[in-house]
Structure formats: C-alpha cells, structure tokens
C-alpha cells in the first residue's frame, strides 16, 4: 500500500541508506536492516528505554520514532561507544561497578547516560536517578548503575575512577 | 508494536501542511513529537492513512516574550521548556510541571502543542495552561483564531480544534512578579499519568488573595477549573478555614473515572490533597517571591 522511501542518516559516523515503509520503526531498521542489535525492545508502550539511542544530540526511544523521521539525522548506538577497541568510560564503569547482569537494558542505559553526562558532567545521585528514569532494569535494582555512572563521570572529568566493589578493589591493590 | 501502513508527509512550511490536511481530510493525522500518536498506532487504536509530520516546520518552535505576552511554539519540546531560562525566571510553573511529565527521552520528543491537542485528561499541560490563563493560536488555510485554554478542552480526546486546523502557538500573559505557583502531582511512579494533580497560580494584595486559579488534572473527562474554590478564596487571607473550604469545593468539582489508579472516592480525596498542597506552596511562594 504505502510506497517505500529511501532514508539517509549517519550511524556511528558512517552514512547509511535504507529503504523503508513509512510505518517502520527506527528500532527495527537499526536491528534488522543495519544489524546493530545492541539496542533492544523491552515493551510496546514506550516505557522501558531499552531501545534508547542518541539522535541529533538527544536521547530517544527508537521504538517511538519512525525511520522516515531520521532523514539526515546523526545517530549513535552502543556499537559506536568504544573507540579503537578501548571501552568508553561508561562501558568501563558498568563493568567495574557491576552495573549489569542480563545485559538487556545495558545498551539503552549506556546511551542515555552518555547524553546525561554531556549535559551534566557532575550529577548528584538524585540527578542520576531522575535523569535516567526513562530506562527500566529488572536485574540490578539500579544501585550499581548509579555507581557506574558516577565512575564514568569521574573518569570523564579526568579524576581518578576506582571501583567501589571490595573484591575488585582488593585485586587492583594486589596487582600494584 | 506494528502500526498499520500509512503514507508519510514532511512539509517544510505551514501552507504546505494546510494543503496536505485539505487534501487528505479525516484520513490524515498531524505528527508532532509522536509520543502519544505512535503508541496508539502501535496498538492499532489509531490507524490514519496519512501522517503529516510537523517536525521540519521551524516556525512552530521557540519561546519568546512579545509585549508582555509569552509565546511558545507548539512544537517546542518538554525538554526545551524545562531548560528555558526565560521560563525558569518568568514563568517557572511550566518548568515545574514539565519536569513531572514522562521521562527524559519522552521529553526530548513530546511537545507542548501535542500534549494540549491530544486532549487526554491524563496530560498535565491542560491544567498548567488553564492555571496560567493561556490561550491557543489555531491556524488554518483560512486564517487564525485564538481560543482560551479554559474552554478549549471539551471531552476525552476532544478539543475545539477543527479539521484543517493546526495549533501553532501558545500565548500566556506573563505572570506579574510575586505570582505564587505550584503543580502538585500524585503519581504511582516516575513517568506515570497523574492519579490526581492540581495546578495553582496565586497573588496576594495586602495579605489577601487577589488572584487565584485552580485547575485539576485527571479527575474528570477533561481538565477541571475549580471556580467555586477560586471564588471562596478571593479577597480573603488564605487561612485554615478558607483552605478547608477551597479543598471541599475542589473535590466537589471532580468527576473521576475509576481505573487501576484508584476508585472515584480515592481520586477525589487525592485531588483535594493535591489542591491543599498546591495552594499552600503557591501561597508560600507568593509571600517569599525569591526565585529558586
């Protein structure tokens, strides 16, 4: 019925052309046409934020955006966070602070935190919780996610970032 | 999750948008932030044949003061409202309200005009706009008309917007210095629609209430302006007795629908409690007008 349209956008720095029906959701294009399967789908009511990507300098839930709306957009997904094989401070923070278990919410959490720390490089715990409220997690209870974002914030500000985890901290001390 | 097929249009100007609306009539829907419409389409509650995306019309964005009147473009996002220094300093009720709407991602997309045009009694901006005595600019190919917020909302998902019209801007008389304000919202969790909420603006003169506006969210088919409660407060000090009476009258104005957020009695009682808190906070802010 509806004619297909070609849409061009930048995905993690590379120009991408896709041909989509107008009804195709951005999350499906990213996962099925671009094979960027880090962004996940956790709901159909726009609550969970597992599909969060960075879109023209904002965090968006890519399940609630049509791919045709992405014409000319700059999109970054979790696949674009690490550079040259080196983890982004947030990826390192989530690992060091045990900020993930099943990993299903993690790509969305990372991309939301990525934007948050650019807007607010030194957030309080309350600010982290408030500005991450669009991302649900069923595993962690959020506490370690807050610590992971704090870890990344310290590192990105050029301060010393050490794991608050007692065993990891002890390992690190032994290694010295 | 999967919407029905439709044709997509992305006009660059308002005249193009009006032409598309004229050509496709009832089979077209305007796409703003898309955070009410797309969820409904994904559940197939809505199945328009044409979507007209307003996202590329730059005239519909912006926040500015024009001769003592605040103008906000309908496509201005919630996030832009929150971070507007003009609103933070001159009309902070909008920022306080917007911070209680949805979540960060939704607020990067969802727009003031969309929140209002949707006509959902669960949305927060209708009460904020009624409390601020706002009016809405509705444009069509034939011209423009301006309608007050109080009276714009006529039922659930029903407003005065006619087919062929687009809400292009929101006009708000700039609240005079010393205007107390509050949006008190009870919700089950961050991002939820209100179980009950109350928006208040209030000014004092010589210790008496000179001006008060009270608007209630999600306790009726539409936003409810609690005019009886306003009348009982006007011209008197806001003491315990006056407050109790205003709360009673605000509760009497409610007509809540029972759902998973609670039954009628609970919602009515909570509308009273939110009204009490909003009046108290607005009163404190009117007495101590130092901005946060």
Whole-angstrom distance, CA of residue B128 vs CA of residue B215: 7
Beta carbons of B59 and B46 less than 8 angstroms apart? no
CA nearest B190 in A: which residue? A133
CB atoms within 10 A of CB A33: 16
Residues 6 or more apart whose CB falls under 8 angstroms from that of B99 comprise B82
Q: Which tokens go with A93?
A: 């923070």
CA distances in angstroms from B22 to A120, B11, B33, B164, listed in the order given: 45, 13, 22, 6
Cα end-to-end distance, chain A, whole Å? 66
Which residues from A are below 8 Å from B when comparing CB atoms? 1-3, 5, 21-23, 25, 41, 44-47, 49, 52, 58-61, 63-66, 68-69, 71, 112, 116, 130-134
Q: Which tokens go with A60?
A: 């968006």
Residues of chain A contacting B2 with CB distance shorter than 8 Å: 23
Whole-angstrom distance, CA of residue A146 vs CA of residue B279: 35
3-state secondary structure of B20: helix
List the pLDDT tens digit at each of the 176 positions of chain A.
Answer: 568 999 999 999 999 999 999 999 999 999 999 999 999 999 999 999 999 999 999 999 999 999 999 999 999 999 999 999 999 999 999 999 999 999 999 999 999 999 999 999 999 999 999 999 999 999 999 999 999 999 999 999 999 988 887 766 666 666 65
pTM of the model: 0.96
CA nearest B192 in A: which residue? A47
CB contact under 8 A, B104 and A133: yes
Q: What is the CATH number of domain B62-173?
A: 3.30.465.10
Residue-by-residue DSSP string for B140-206: ETTEEEEEESTTTEEETTEESPPTT-EEEEEEEEPPPTT-EEEEEEE-SSTTPPPSEEEEEEEEEET
CB atoms within 10 A of CB A79: 17
| Listed residue (A78, A38, A51, A75) closest to A135, CA to CA | A51
Minimal Cβ distance to B105: which of A59, A69, A71: A59
Percent of chain B with pLDDT over 90: 98
> Which ranges in chain B are annotated with CATH 3.30.43.10?
7-52
CB atoms within 10 A of CB B269: 16
Tell me: the pLDDT tens digits for B148-207?
Answer: 999 999 999 999 999 999 999 999 999 999 999 999 999 999 999 999 999 999 999 999
> Which ranges in chain B are annotated with CATH 3.30.390.50?
180-286
Find out if CATH 3.30.420.40 is the number for domain B7-52.
no
3-state secondary structure of B103: coil
Q: Which domains does chain A have, with CATH numbers?
A: 5-80 (3.10.20.30), 89-171 (1.10.150.120)
Q: What angle do CA A140, A134, B105 make, to 5 degrees?
A: 145
Neighbouring-strand partners of residue B200:
B182, B214
Residue-by-residue DSSP string for B219-282: SSSS-EE-HHHHHHHTTS---HHHHHHHHHHHHHH--PPPBTTB-HHHHHHHHHHHHHHHHHHH
Q: What angle do CA B218, B224, B229 make, to 5 degrees?
A: 120
Q: Which CATH class is domain B180-286?
A: alpha beta
């Amino acid at each position: 019925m509806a004619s297909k349209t070609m849409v061009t956008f930048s995905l993690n720095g590379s120009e991408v052309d896709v041909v989509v029906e107008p009804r195709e959701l951005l999350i499906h294009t990213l996962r099925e046409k671009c094979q960027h399967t880090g962004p996940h789908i956790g709901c159909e009511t726009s609550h969970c934020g597992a599909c969060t990507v960075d879109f023209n300098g904002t965090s968006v839930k890519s399940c609630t955006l049509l791919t045709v709306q992405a014409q000319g957009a700059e999109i970054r997904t979790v696949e674009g966070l690490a550079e040259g094989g080196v983890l982004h401070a947030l990826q390192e923070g989530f690992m060091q602070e045990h900020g993930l278990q099943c990993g299903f919410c993690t790509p969305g959490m990372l991309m939301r935190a990525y934007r948050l720390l650019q807007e607010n490089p030194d957030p309080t715990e309350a600010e982290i919780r408030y500005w991450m409220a669009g991302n649900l997690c069923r595993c962690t209870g959020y506490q370690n996610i807050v610590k992971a974002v704090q870890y990344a914030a310290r590192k990105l500000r050029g301060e010393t970032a050490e794991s608050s985890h007692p065993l990891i901290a002890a390992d690190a001390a032994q290694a010295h | 999750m999967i919407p029905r097929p439709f044709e997509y249009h992305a006009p660059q100007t308002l005249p193009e948008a009006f032409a598309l609306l004229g050509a496709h009539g009832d089979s077209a829907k305007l796409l703003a932030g898309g955070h009410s419409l797309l969820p409904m389409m994904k559940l197939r509650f809505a199945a328009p044949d044409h979507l007209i995306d307003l996202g590329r019309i730059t005239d519909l964005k912006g926040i500015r003061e024009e001769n003592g009147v605040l103008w906000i473009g309908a496509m201005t996002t919630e996030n832009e409202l929150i971070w507007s220094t003009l609103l933070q300093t001159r009309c902070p009720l909008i920022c306080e309200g917007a911070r209680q709407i949805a979540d960060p991602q939704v607020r990067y997309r969802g727009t003031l005009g969309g929140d209002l045009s949707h006509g959902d009694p669960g949305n927060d901006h209708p009460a904020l706009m009624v409390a601020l005595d706002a009016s809405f600019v509705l444009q069509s190919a034939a011209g423009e008309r301006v309608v007050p917020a109080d009276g714009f909302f006529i039922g659930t998902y029903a407003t005065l917007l006619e087919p062929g019209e687009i809400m292009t801007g929101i006009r708000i008389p700039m609240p005079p210095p010393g205007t107390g304000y509050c949006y008190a919202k009870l919700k089950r969790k961050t991002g939820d629609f209100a179980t009950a909420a109350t928006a208040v603006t209030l000014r004092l003169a010589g210790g008496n209430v000179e001006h008060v506006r009270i608007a209630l969210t999600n306790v009726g088919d539409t936003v409810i302006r609690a005019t009886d409660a306003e009348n009982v407060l006007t011209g008197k000090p806001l003491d315990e007795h006056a407050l109790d009476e205003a709360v009673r009258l605000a509760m009497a104005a409610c007509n809540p629908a029972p759902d998973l957020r609670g039954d009628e009695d609970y919602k009515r009682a909570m509308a009273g409690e939110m009204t009490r808190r909003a009046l108290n906070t607005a009163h404190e802010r009117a007495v101590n007008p130092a901005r946060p």
